[in-house]
């Protein structure tokens, strides 16, 4: 069974990736939100709750899920702890991505996007037909990030240290979308991207996904 063109959408914190994801959806491209998938996995009833609580005792919440703030405090800036958490969550997220693409293949969608902040850092590009990096430049990125509640220069620096530098992301991208202040320009850029992708080779689904089964 063939399937949709798999677009890997990524970018650093506050680079404008979420807006591009919304634009893609507006143009009819289904988007898998990896962050939302992780949040769902940390809610009550998720099959990974027990494993997370066993690895990080005391992070459960009163509703039977995981207190994301408490969990974040345990893993932020702690590389071994973060790797333990990723070993629990990443396989479940990958399984959700596989179900998402399988459904779209059955429904004969032409394209699908995987919105994954750490796509390149985790080698996820091998499961995509093309990689789209959203970039706003370091100064605009910092201004946007520092306007967020709870963000500080030190926290932003720590987050940036965990992410691949924007210049390296751009080198590894098939397409770079510049995210500035002009929303109309962003919409036009996404429309132009989708036009170019009409003839892009579709090889990732299902072959690449079977290779990592």
Tell me if 213 is assigned to some domain. no
Domain count, the chain: 2
Domain boundary among 108, 126, 160: 108
Name residues of the chain where pLDDT drops below 50.
1
Tell me if 46 is assigned to some domain. yes
Q: What is the rounded end-to-end Cα distance, in angstroms, of the chain?
A: 16
Domain boundary among 108, 134, 159: 108
Six-digit token pair at 178?
């510049």
| DSSP one-letter string for 140-200 | HHHHHHHTSTT--HHHHHHHHHHS--HHHHHHH-SEEEE--S-HHHHHHHHHHHHHHHTTS
CA angle (198, 12, 151) in 5-degree steps:
145
Is the same domain home to 134 and 95? no
- The Cα–Cα gap between 169 and 10 comes to 9
- The residue range of the domain holding 51 is 34-108
Is the same domain home to 85 and 124? no
- The Cα–Cα gap between 43 and 3 comes to 31
Predicted TM-score (pTM) above 0.75: yes
Instruction: Map residue 84 onto helix, strand or coil.
Output: helix
- The Cα–Cα gap between 24 and 142 comes to 25
With contact defined as beta carbons under 8 Å apart, do 193 and 93 qualify? no
Instruction: Label residue 170 exposed, middle or buried (CB < 10 Å: 0-12, 13-18, 19+).
Output: middle
Query: What pLDDT, on the 0 to 100 scale, is given for residue 181?
Result: 65
Is the same domain home to 101 and 64? yes
Tell me if 165 is assigned to some domain. yes
Q: At 196, which CATH number?
A: 3.40.50.300
Domain boundary among 108, 124, 139: 108
Is the same domain home to 17 and 74? no
- The Cα–Cα gap between 89 and 95 comes to 10
Q: Say how many CA atoms lie within 13 Å of 86 toward its Cβ.
A: 11
- The Cα–Cα gap between 133 and 9 comes to 6
Instruction: Map residue 62 onto helix, strand or coil.
Output: coil
* E strand residue ranges, the chain: 5-10, 31-33, 111-115, 130-135, 175-178
- The Cα–Cα gap between 109 and 5 comes to 9
Is the same domain home to 184 and 120? yes
Is the same domain home to 116 and 201? yes
């Amino acid at each position: 069974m063939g399937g949709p063109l798999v677009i890997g959408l990524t970018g650093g914190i506050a680079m404008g990736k979420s807006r591009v994801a919304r634009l893609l959806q507006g143009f009819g491209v289904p988007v898998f939100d990896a962050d939302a998938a992780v949040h769902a996995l940390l809610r009550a009833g998720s099959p990974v709750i027990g494993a997370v609580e066993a690895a990080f005792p005391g992070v459960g919440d009163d509703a039977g899920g995981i207190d994301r703030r408490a969990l974040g405090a345990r893993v932020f800036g702690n590389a071994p702890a973060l790797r333990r958490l990723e070993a629990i969550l990443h396989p479940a997220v990958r399984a959700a991505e596989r179900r998402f693409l399988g459904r779209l293949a059955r429904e004969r969608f032409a394209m699908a996007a995987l919105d994954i902040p750490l796509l390149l850092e985790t080698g996820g590009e091998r499961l995509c037909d093309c990689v789209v990096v959203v970039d706003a430049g370091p100064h605009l990125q910092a201004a946007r990030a520092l306007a967020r509640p709870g963000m500080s220069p030190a926290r932003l620096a720590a987050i940036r240290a965990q992410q691949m530098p924007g210049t390296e992301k751009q080198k590894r991208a098939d397409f770079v979308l510049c995210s500035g202040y002009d929303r109309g320009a962003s919409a036009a850029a996404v429309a132009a991207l989708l036009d170019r992708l009409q003839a892009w080779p579709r090889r990732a689904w299902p072959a690449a996904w079977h290779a990592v089964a």
